[in-house]
Chains A and B, each alone.
Chain A
Amino acid sequence: MKKFIPLGLVGLMLLALPLSTSNPFILHSFIMVLWYAYISTSWNIVGGFAGQLSLGHSAFLAIGGYTSTLLYTYLNLTPWLGMLAGGTLAALVAVLIGIPSFRLKGAYYSLATIAFAEGLSIILKTVRQVGPVYLGADEGVHVPLRVDPGFFDFQSNGKIPYYYIILVFLAIVLAVSWYIERSRLGYYLTALREDEEAAKALGIDTRKVKLIAAGLSAFFTGIGGTFFAQLIRYLEPGTIAGLDFSVQMVFLAVVGGLGTVCGPFVGAVFLTTIAQVTNVYWGDSIPGLNLIIYGIAVVSVILFMPPGQGIINLVLRVLGLGPAVAAQGLREDAEKTKETSEVSC
């Protein structure tokens, strides 16, 4: 029960946050933090839980964004449904790509995912027209602007609705991650990540489990693409399908805590805040300083935090939630072993 108090406080804070400012730039920054947290949490399902280091997840953002935008433009289908179509298509593609690429291990798998995403990005950058559908090549596509947007247009003249939409999306993907971690799928993904051969001996169809994780992850990432399209109202292939977003998803999860439920969220808040604040204060006066600070922050976390665990434990301890089971501190483990061995002696 004690756990719910700090969690509730964080939730309340997030709900009240937009009331604290009327500055659209700051509000936009808040939205982007939550969006990064959302896509990184989505990536974490396959990249963290299943340990398959995908570096091509921006492809699923692009699939989601383009699908909903084109459906909206040509069939006038509300992006709320377009987003589900885009997510489903992204999941399908992820499974199809996964069938051959999951045969590869480690760095080879990562390279295959980059190759796939770059391939898609190049196609989007060069194809201008497919039949009646205008793709705009490297200029990308615009989301049709409605003068008086209603709920079904997934558009708004102000920023606040976007904030609450992405907050709900984030809550959903966090809930799904939380559920996965406590289900058979979560146990299987962990087993597969730690030792695939041992996992097979315990009756785990590792290929199937990997494909499920990839599909789920791509589904939510695709929905993130639709949100991005609706927020920015413009999809440029070099951005939405580019390596930058792919790498960001990995970065945030690694710094926050790979394979933990809240790690990517914590990483997104931490790193994006640093990036924004340093950019606002020093971006103009000392160009480049913000990037240096960002880099130092990332390197410090990787160097000084226990390997593969990021800053999640630190944050949880500050919040009074104690270390997550997924990533207990090394020293505590050592003490625990000592205790138990003394008991048994």
Chain B
Amino acid sequence: MSEPPGTPLLKITDLNKSFGGLTVTKELTMSVHEGQFFGVIGPNGAGKSTLFNQISGYLRPDSGRIEFRGKDITGLPPHIVCHRGIGRTFQIAKPFVSRTVLYNVAVGAFARTSHLHEALDRAERIVHQLGLGKRKDVLAKNLTIVDRKRLELAKALATQPKLLLLDEILAGLTPSEVDEAIHLIRDICATGVTIVMIEHVMRAVMALCENVLVINYGRKIAEGTPMEVTGDPEVISAYLGEEHAS
């Protein structure tokens, strides 16, 4: 694996977290460089979402260090992490259901402006960028699953993140919707947003990610290009059991 030069955008060192006796993150070290498309995969319960929750400030790690753009952000509360430039989506979309799509996105846009018309302008642009233009006045509770996912993405983008954490944004989509979403996410990456995604849809991981981190029981078991990690015996054993590994 070739390391891109320069200081990484996100650098995690020796991260540990446990809930009582259950270790969810163990001595995890990883770095993501600017412009990279980074994937995090692993079996259910491997600690992927917990990792995101620690980066985005929802959980305080027991020990270790998280650096973003060279600054320590370990244990900062979520709203500050957001202002520093990390956006995130949730595994189960969390729209503000009683409000319109545009309103939802404007809430995110307010992170960078205090003027209503500026926030609405920015929201409008993002809504169109993500193909929600025709639905901008629909209440969020009436959206289909795929549009909810788009909205989740739009809200996070509205905060103008440098780094975007996508937590299973493709789960529950039909194959054709996945293809559409892959294009959408690739476009977002092209605008200069670095992306880290947790994903089970391997087709998307193979198509999008330059680097993949595989974790199991909170531990890094492999890292490399998608081709490399899917051939790794330890990864195969984590997913399919020991007997398939050889």
CB distance from B125 to the nearest CB of A (A): 17
Q: Are B142 and A333 in contact (CB under 8 A)?
A: yes
Of A199, A203, A204, which is in contact with the most chain B CB atoms at under 10 Å from its CB? A203
Interchain CB contact (< 8 A) of A197 among B90, B100, B134, B159: B90
CB of A198 within 8 A of chain B?
A: yes
Interface of A is mostly: helix
User: What is the 8 Å Cβ interface bit string for chain A, positions 307-345, against chain B (1 contact, 0 not)?
Assistant: 010000000000000000111100001101100110110
The answer on a CB contact under 8 Å between B79 and A184 is no
Residue of A nearest to B136 (CB): A340
**Considering the chains assembled together, what is the distance between the CA atoms of A340 and B135 in angstroms?**
6
* A203 B138 Cβ-Cβ under 8 A: no
Are B78 and A194 in touch, CB under 8 angstroms? Answer: no
Stretch of B2-10, B108-116, B188-196, B210-218 on the interface side: B108-116
A190-B96, A191-B96, A195-B96 known; A344+B78 contact, CB < 8 A: no
Instruction: Point out the residues of chain B lying under 8 angstroms from A336, CB to CB.
Output: 137-139, 142
Residue B156, interface by CB 8 Å: yes
Give residues 73-100 of B contacting A (CB, 8 Å): 77-79, 82-83, 87-88, 90, 94-100
- A187 to B107, Cβ gap below 8 A? yes
Residue total for B at the interface (Cβ-Cβ under 8 A): 40
The interface bits of chain B over 127-141 (1 if a CB of A lies within 8 angstroms of the residue's CB, else 0) are 000000011011101
Most chain B C-beta atoms within 10 Å of own C-beta, residue among A198, A341, A344? A198
Docked pose: A190 CA to B98 CA in angstroms: 9
Q: Is the beta-carbon distance between B138 and A333 smaller than 8 angstroms?
A: yes
A146 in the interface (beta carbon within 8 A) = no
Would B56 and A201 count as touching, CB distance under 8 A?
A: yes
A202 touches B108 (CB 8 A): yes
Whether the pair B79, A187 counts as a contact (CB closer than 8 A) is: no
**In the bound complex, CA of A187 to CA of B114 (Å):** 11
- The answer to whether A201 touches B78, judged by C-beta atoms less than 8 angstroms apart, is yes
Quote the shortest CB–CB distance from A315 to chain B (angstroms).
Answer: 19
* Residue contact B159 to A203, C-beta cutoff 8 Å: yes
- Are B99 and A190 interface neighbours, CB within 8 A? yes
Evaluate contact between B139 and A203: CB separation under 8 angstroms.
no
Flag if A204 contacts B79 (CB, 8 Å): yes
Minimum C-beta distance from B42 to chain A (A): 22
Against B, the Cβ 8 Å flags (1 = close, 0 = not) of A160-191 are 00000000000000000000001110011011
11 further A-B contacts with Cβ under 8 Å, apart from A190-B98, A202-B110, A336-B142, are A187-B107, A198-B90, A201-B94, A202-B82, A202-B111, A203-B108, A204-B79, A204-B107, A205-B77, A328-B139, A336-B139
